[in-house]
Amino acid sequence: MLYEVLGDIWVVQRNPYLQDDLLDNPKRRRQLVEALHHRLGEVQNRRSNEDAERDALVGQLLEAASRAVKAFNAEFEAIASLRKKTTRQLKKYTANDNIKFDGLSRVSHVTDATDWRVEYPFVVLTPDTEVEMAGLVKGCIDLGLTIVPRGGGTGYTGGAVPLTWKSAVINTEKLEAMTEVEHLSLPGIDHPVPTIWTEAGVVTQRVADAAERAGFVFAVDPTSAEASCIGGNIAMNAGGKKAVLWGTALDNLASWRMVTPDAQWLEVTRLNHNLGKIHDVEVASFELKYFEANGTTLVREERLDIPGANFRKEGLGKDVTDKFLAGLPGVQKEGCDGLITSARWILHRMPEHTRTVCLEFFGNAKDAVPSIVEIKDFMFAEQKRSGVLLAGLEHLDDRYLRAVGYTTKSKRGGLPKMV
């Protein structure tokens, strides 16, 4: 009976649908709690005084179980109260329908592509516009909620996994406004540059398609391009196969906008953009403007001048261990120093003629890695000699090849260890 009591508590705590049902039906919740106390009462009635030491342990168990039942019941009152308070606070900044406590919303935001599960979020927020973001962040802070930013949920680092029940997932997928390609004058550049502006919830592939329609290339193309969102691309400093030529998200950002943990707006603008890889410049400069939550009242300005070499570890296109990233806000921080809401990107033009070479490695995968490095070095030397560019580089291991149903090109048959 003790296991039944603890089991019932555990099942309800791990099932948002049961929680919703019991919150909506106080009578049913009261009956459940009475049944739990009744079972503990039966255990009490069956206690034996023959073994004093054993009886004392039973008493301790009953006392602890009774406290657990009382805490279980009190949780419902606390959650119901916090839900009312949260709705009252956050509806100042977004529509009621965008404040979601239902089981389906919470279940679908408990994990990301990692499939790690720790706690269900308390509430899921789905703002309609970028303007709402600062207010929602402020409201969550005032309520004492931990904020978890989320886009497409394609991350493999667990950045969108709530670690406490008292958390709010802010889902930016409805922030999907974007422009077509625009030729603009950027600070410090004496000619118009092809750019595109997007909100954080725009799916990466949509940006690539818009660029392609105008004859340009969007350099950020992670494997998850058809599901990942722009905000996550910036927060993770995403790359892709074109990073070998044009770098990662950081190298291709002209400016971006974010909400800080103080619920202020921060606009970051790259100055004197080299339209290439950031580590190739001696100094990379950024202008930072902070605004109040209304988005118009300027709080302060500052300028960051950072040696380009500080953004890369030698030999690496991206150092995933460096979350500080020379102190530059937003990029590669995985949402820890603010929520990305929109950005403007520079675009590129592919060479007039392109060829794709596919190499299949059938031996040990460890022997393929030096070959990839040699290919890269050879092509970079060829670029200086004849102008031939290595525009993309991607390697796929045998697990990925099996997952996508890869068909071997070689006559020898069988699945390669790496492509």
Please report the pLDDT score of residue 260 as a whole number.
96
H helices present in 91-152, as ranges? 103-107, 133-143
Please report the pLDDT score of residue 306 as a whole number.
97
Give the pLDDT confidence of 269-281 residue by residue, as tens digits. 999 999 999 999 9
Query: What's the pLDDT band for 320 if we cut at 50, 70, 90?
Result: confident
Give the pLDDT confidence of 101-124 residue by residue, as tens digits. 999 999 999 999 999 999 999 999
Average pLDDT over residues 393-410: 89
Give the pLDDT confidence of 165-189 residue by residue, as tens digits. 999 999 999 999 999 999 999 999 9
Give the pLDDT confidence of 188-224 residue by residue, as tens digits. 999 999 999 999 999 999 999 999 999 999 999 998 9
Give the pLDDT confidence of 218-243 residue by residue, as tens digits. 999 998 999 999 999 999 999 988 99
Query: What's the pLDDT band for 54 if we cut at 50, 70, 90?
Result: confident
Cα dihedral sign for 185, 190, 191, 197?
A: negative
The pLDDT of residue 391 is above 90: no
Give the pLDDT confidence of 264-307 residue by residue, as tens digits. 999 999 999 999 999 999 999 999 999 999 999 999 999 999 99
The pLDDT of residue 143 is above 90: yes
Q: Give the type of residue at 132.
A: E
Average pLDDT over residues 145-174: 95
Please report the pLDDT score of residue 363 as a whole number.
87
The pLDDT of residue 317 is above 80: no
Residue 383: which H helix or E strand, with range?
helix 365-386
The pLDDT of residue 49 is above 90: no
The overall average pLDDT reported for the chain is 94
pLDDT above 70: percentage of residues in the chain: 100
Secondary structure (3-state) at 249 = helix
Cα dihedral sign for 207, 265, 307, 238?
A: negative
The pLDDT of residue 247 is above 90: yes
pLDDT above 90: percentage of residues in the chain: 78
Give the pLDDT confidence of 331-343 residue by residue, as tens digits. 999 889 999 999 9
DSSP 327: G
User: Are 235 and 387 spatial neighbours (Cβ–Cβ below 8 Å)?
Assistant: no
266 burial type by CB count under 10 A (0-12 exposed, 13-18 middle, 19+ buried):
buried
CA dihedral 126, 132, 138, 140 (to 10 degrees): -10
Query: What's the pLDDT band for 369 if we cut at 50, 70, 90?
Result: confident
Please report the pLDDT score of residue 395 as a whole number.
85
The pLDDT of residue 77 is above 90: yes
Please report the pLDDT score of residue 373 as a whole number.
86
Average pLDDT over residues 395-417: 89
Average pLDDT over residues 85-90: 98
The pLDDT of residue 314 is above 80: no
Please report the pLDDT score of residue 302 as a whole number.
97
Please report the pLDDT score of residue 20 as a whole number.
96
Please report the pLDDT score of residue 376 as a whole number.
86
Helix%, strand%, coil% for the chain, nearest 5: 40, 20, 40
Give the pLDDT confidence of 10-41 residue by residue, as tens digits. 999 999 999 999 999 999 999 999 999 999 99
Please report the pLDDT score of residue 201 as a whole number.
97
Distance CA 369, CA 417 (A): 11
The pLDDT of residue 8 is above 90: yes
The pLDDT of residue 157 is above 90: no
